[in-house]
């Protein structure tokens, strides 16, 4: 009888601990949101992401960028995915996204597969972007983290806000700090999240001015960039953001210490004491970078989510129900 009583007590404690671990955070998000509704959802997302990245390594960076550009425009609500209509000015045509943001067809594939395995539209497009960002980083050798889930999709988009709030490649450090501060993010988040530029490419028009006019740039590096990004034309020519654009490592930060940051906004991280100390730390300590990057991705994913009865769960990520 005593054993049974002890067993019952342990069972009660175990259930209590389980309840606490799955309880939503204050903003209504929890990593376990789909555990009972559709446990097949996250594995389905991972399969499609891995396939897309295997087919084109650059796609990992593109999918990560979609989540970033979504969250900085009125919160992580999937608004970046909406096409233009009579009432919606698509964010896809905002200056930071136009002829630049990509991976929408992969999101469409993920949405179709998730809805198939779940039996109906239960996973929001906003959550798909958040999970896809994590799985893209992992697919390129980076860290993993528990994505908080339960976002709902917006019923609006704002091209104007996208133009104003997505950080620009020509920003200096004070402007970047203020930009992130408006989103509730700190200097550590700025430096850690900028490490996303350890993967992917940028178009010539985003770094041309730096190669010809900045003083804090390695001259041999600048000369090489100017060879395929001249003063005029070739706007869409690509350059890698660090020497290993398909591997999530710390070479991005090493580049900043030798004045080889591709974008003006990248190199700006080396111009302030607190930011520079983080750059130095991350350049030789990948574990510190990975840990802080994961934490900052969670914080960014918490920006003004729609939950409960707000918004909707879109059947098609490109248009409203």
**Residues 46-73 pLDDT 10s:** 999 999 999 999 999 999 999 999 999 9
Residue 23 pLDDT grade (very low, low, confident, very high; cuts 50, 70, 90)? low
C-alpha to C-alpha distances, 80 to 119, 159, 313, nearest whole angstrom: 25, 9, 15
User: What is residue 112's predicted lDDT score, i.e. its pLDDT?
Assistant: 98
Residue 39 pLDDT grade (very low, low, confident, very high; cuts 50, 70, 90)? very high
User: What is residue 28's predicted lDDT score, i.e. its pLDDT?
Assistant: 87
Residues labelled catalytic: 69
Which stretches does DSSP call E strand in the chain? Answer: 201-203, 238-240
Q: What value does the mean pLDDT of the chain take?
A: 93
Distance CA 152, CA 226 (A): 44
- The model's pTM is 0.92
Lowest mean pLDDT among 24-33, 57-66, 76-85: 24-33
Whether 11 has a pLDDT exceeding 60, the answer reads no
> What is the distance in angstroms between the CA of the first residue and the CA of the last residue of the chain?
58
DSSP designation for 93: G
How confident is the model over 150-208, as pLDDT tens digits? 999 999 999 999 999 999 999 999 999 999 999 999 999 999 999 999 999 999 999 99
Query: 19: how many CB neighbours lie within 10 A of its CB?
Result: 9
Residue 133 pLDDT grade (very low, low, confident, very high; cuts 50, 70, 90)? very high
User: What is residue 24's predicted lDDT score, i.e. its pLDDT?
Assistant: 62
Which stretches does DSSP call E strand in 190-301? Answer: 201-203, 238-240
Tell me the average pLDDT across 209-228: 97
Residue 27 pLDDT grade (very low, low, confident, very high; cuts 50, 70, 90)? confident
Residue 3 pLDDT grade (very low, low, confident, very high; cuts 50, 70, 90)? very low
Which phi and psi (to 5°) does residue 45 adopt? -60, -45
DSSP designation for 230: -
How confident is the model over 257-277, as pLDDT tens digits? 999 999 999 999 999 999 999
Whether 19 has a pLDDT exceeding 80, the answer reads no
Distance CA 232, CA 234 (A): 7
Residue 6 pLDDT grade (very low, low, confident, very high; cuts 50, 70, 90)? very low
């Amino acid at each position: 009888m005593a054993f049974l009583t002890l067993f019952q007590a342990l069972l009660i404690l175990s259930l209590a601990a389980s309840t606490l671990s799955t309880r939503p955070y204050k903003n209504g998000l929890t990593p376990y949101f789909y555990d009972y509704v559709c446990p097949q959802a996250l594995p389905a997302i991972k399969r499609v992401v891995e396939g897309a990245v295997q087919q084109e390594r650059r796609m990992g960076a593109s999918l990560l960028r979609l989540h970033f550009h979504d969250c900085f425009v009125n919160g992580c609500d999937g608004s970046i995915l909406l096409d233009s209509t009579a009432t919606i000015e698509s964010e896809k045509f905002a200056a930071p996204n136009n002829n630049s943001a990509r991976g929408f067809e992969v999101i469409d594939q993920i949405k179709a597969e998730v809805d198939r395995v779940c039996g109906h539209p239960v996973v929001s497009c906003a959550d798909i972007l958040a999970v896809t960002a994590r799985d893209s980083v992992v697919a390129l050798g980076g860290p993993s983290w528990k994505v908080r889930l339960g976002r709902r999709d917006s019923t609006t988009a704002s091209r104007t806000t996208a133009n104003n709030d997505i950080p620009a490649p020509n920003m200096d450090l004070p402007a970047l700090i203020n930009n992130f501060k408006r989103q509730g993010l700190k200097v550590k988040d700025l430096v850690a999240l900028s490490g996303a530029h350890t993967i992917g490419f940028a178009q010539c028009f985003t770094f041309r001015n730096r190669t010809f006019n900045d003083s804090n740039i390695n001259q041999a590096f600048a000369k090489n960039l100017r060879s395929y990004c001249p003063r005029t034309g070739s706007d869409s020519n690509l350059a890698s953001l660090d020497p290993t654009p398909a591997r999530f490592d710390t070479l991005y930060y090493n580049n900043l210490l030798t004045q080889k940051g591709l974008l003006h906004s990248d190199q700006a991280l080396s111009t302030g004491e607190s930011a520079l100390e983080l750059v130095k730390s991350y350049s030789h300590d990948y574990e510190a970078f990975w840990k802080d990057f994961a934490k900052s991705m969670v914080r960014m994913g918490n920006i003004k989510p729609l939950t409960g009865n707000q918004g909707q769960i879109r059947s098609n990520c490109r248009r409203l129900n």
